[in-house]
Amino acid sequence: MTARRTFLKSLLAASVIPTLSWADAGSPSYLAAAKIADGRFSLFGLDAMGQIRFSIPLPTRGHAAAAHPTRPEAVAFARRPGTYAIVLDCISGDEIARMTTPEGRHFYGHGVFSQDGNTLFTTENHIETGEGRIGVWQVSAEYRRVGEFSSNGVGPHEILRLTGSDILVVANGGIRTHPETGRAKLNLETMRPNLSYLTTAGAVLDVVELDETLHQNSIRHIALGPDGLVGMAMQWQGNVVEKPPLLALHQMGETLRLLAAPMMQHRWLKGYAGSIAFSNDGQLVGITSPRGGVAQFFDTTSDGFIQQIDQPDICGLAPHLNGFLATDGSGNTLEISVGGATLLTTNANMAWDNHLVPIKT
């Protein structure tokens, strides 16, 4: 009887332990990495107006982060070719776990949680063969690695999950790298980027490739519209004189659509699209170019060019109210809507890194 009472008391106590949410971390809307003026690096949580809600130190430069769908946990990935990722408690700032790739692998800087939050999927490189891999990590077991499967290409960079499903979308950039040569690109003449749709077991549901003439257009970053439309931001690895489209849209099972501004504006991208995002209603899509200091926006119905925003070193981009939120290398956050941009915050002692990751709760 005593044992039974003890069991019931412990069960009751467990049932009333509050479940922590992103609201307990200050209700951030975005995650972003940054370099501080003294040379340190941190991961930040930002609210809808670009105000900092929390800051957690990182040991080295970060790239992107993955936000858990329910718990205030974030996985901060090292800049490629990194071999570790840090799981952070966004309330206490504590390190919950450190994920390390198996020997012969390295991360590509991105990951995504399953719909239920029980599994994390990461983009990786199999160093010996150059094949892309998707690492599988069990969240409930302190982010223990439990498997891997092919990314269906070379150089997988960003990975997302179609909204409301567990279909994975992978941007296979096509570029082979090796840690011994750092970020050197080893196969530019033969690269074949693709966008692959995979099950969580690795089965290929759909794949789309660029035309042969664009085989050096590396598919690097992707974004999702509310209706399953996928946006692709690309980085041209070919002749610097050529100026191919750096933005494409694709719906699973349909034909790829290439978008570009008129040449007078398009040339300002300098062959490099750094980040991509859709507006909340999916009617607009935007890409940024930190090299060109511009962001360009398009209508997803007509595929027509709408506007260009000039902002030095702009890169991070995410949906925001009726438009977009952007970050730059001078510590600024900007609200962008059709018609122009408004400075929301400025932090002169920091430089925002490449990506602004929405927290979807």
CATH number for 134: 2.130.10.10
Radius of gyration for the chain, computed over Cα atoms and rounded to the nearest angstrom: 20
Euclidean distance between CA atoms 203 and 4, whole angstroms? 48
For residue 181, is pLDDT > 60?
A: no
What integer pLDDT is reported at residue 183 of this predicted model?
59
Mean pLDDT over 264-274 rounds to: 96
260 part of a folded domain: no
* For residue 180, pLDDT beyond 80: no
As a whole-number percent, the residues of the chain with pLDDT over 70 amount to 92
Q: Report how far Cα 70 is from the mean position of its chain's Cα atoms.
A: 18
Check pLDDT > 80 for residue 240. no
Does residue 8 have a pLDDT over 50?
A: no
Q: How far from chain centre, in Å, is Cα 16?
A: 35
Judge whether 169 and 224 are in contact, CB under 8 Å. yes
In a domain, 345, yes or no: no
User: What is the average pLDDT across 97-121?
Assistant: 94
Tell me whether residue 11 is in a domain: no
Q: Is residue 304 part of a domain?
A: no
Is residue 277 domain-resident?
A: no
What is the strand order of the sheet 105-113 is part of?
Answer: 105-113, 119-126, 131-138, 144-154
Q: What is the pLDDT of residue 10?
A: 53
Measured CA to CA in angstroms, residue 301 lies from 169, 287, 298, 329 at distances of 22, 16, 9, 32
Range of the domain at 78: 19-255+265-271
Per-residue pLDDT, 78: 83
**Does 281 reside within a domain?**
no
At 4 the pLDDT is 47
**336 contacts 7 by C-beta, under 8 angstroms:** no
In the chain, how many domains are there?
1
Is 46 a member of any domain? yes
**What is the C-alpha separation between 285 and 337, in angstroms, rounded?**
11
Residues 123-158 have pLDDT tens digits of: 999 988 889 999 999 999 999 999 999 999 999 999
Tens digit of pLDDT for each residue in 187-216?
777 899 999 999 999 999 999 999 999 999
Kindly tell me the burial class for residue 201, based on how many C-beta atoms sit within 10 Å of its own C-beta (0-12, 13-18, 19 or more). exposed
What is the 8-class DSSP label of residue 5? H
Q: How far apart are CA 179 and CA 104, in angstroms?
A: 10
In a domain, 361, yes or no: no
CA atoms within 13 A on the CB side of 102: 16
Give residue for tokens 């069960």: 11
Mean residue pLDDT across the chain: 91
